[in-house]
Amino acid sequence: MQRIFLFFAAVAILALTGCIGESTGTIPAVADFDAVRYMGTWYEIARLPHSFERNLDFVRAEYTLTEAGIIEVRNSGSRDGNVKSIEGIAKLERPGELSVMFFWPFRSAYRIIYLEEDYSAAIVTGSTKNYLWILARTPQLPPEKLREYLDRIASWGFDSGQLEFPQQ
């Protein structure tokens, strides 16, 4: 019985530590959002560091909308020549805001706070400023576009100096 309690206590602590950080609630998610256009492959251009992506390069996210309206998510990357991947599901909660689940029953916020009109690039965060990704449909961005996104991120109060730029 004590082992079960310790397991659930550890899970609760891990879940709560994901909630610590400055909220992104004052940064609006994109309002004009078409989930169908968002589907497909996105390349990770930059990210705030996290243990689950440590030393990952060639990082991609693939989104597929099912007939049931559920979004299948497959994130992959390479570490030391070995491909790592994880699959999950996402649900559109509001325009530009999804909840993503990789491990039942834990869901995470996925907030698209900037999206190019042609869906060629996006800036995504979670519920706190501890999470941030710059995504693009191509493995690289033109330097002027990247600079624009970095300036935008800094104006929202993210620590852009901490960003990692995985090899693509």
| Domain around 96 | 27-162
User: Is residue 22 in a domain?
Assistant: no
In a domain, 5, yes or no: no
Q: What is the mean pLDDT of residues 91-114?
A: 89
Residue 46 within any structural domain of the chain: yes
Of 127, 122, 131, 118, nearest in space to 158 by CA:
131
Look at residue 19 and tell me if it is in a domain.
no
Query: Predicted confidence band at 41 (pLDDT cuts at 50, 70, 90)?
Result: very high
Q: 18: number of CA atoms within 13 Å, CB side?
A: 16
The CATH number of the domain where 59 resides is what? 2.40.128.20
- Please indicate, yes or no, if residue 4 is contained in any of the structural domains: no
Q: For 112-163, what is each residue's pLDDT tens digit?
A: 999 999 999 999 998 888 999 999 999 999 999 999 999 999 999 999 899 9
For residue 11, is pLDDT > 50?
no
Instruction: Report the first-to-last Cα separation within the chain, whole angstroms.
Output: 47
What's the domain count of the chain? 1
| Residue 168 domain-assigned (yes or no) | no
pTM of the model as a whole:
0.84
pLDDT digits (tens, 9 = 90+) for 47-66: 999 877 888 999 999 999 99
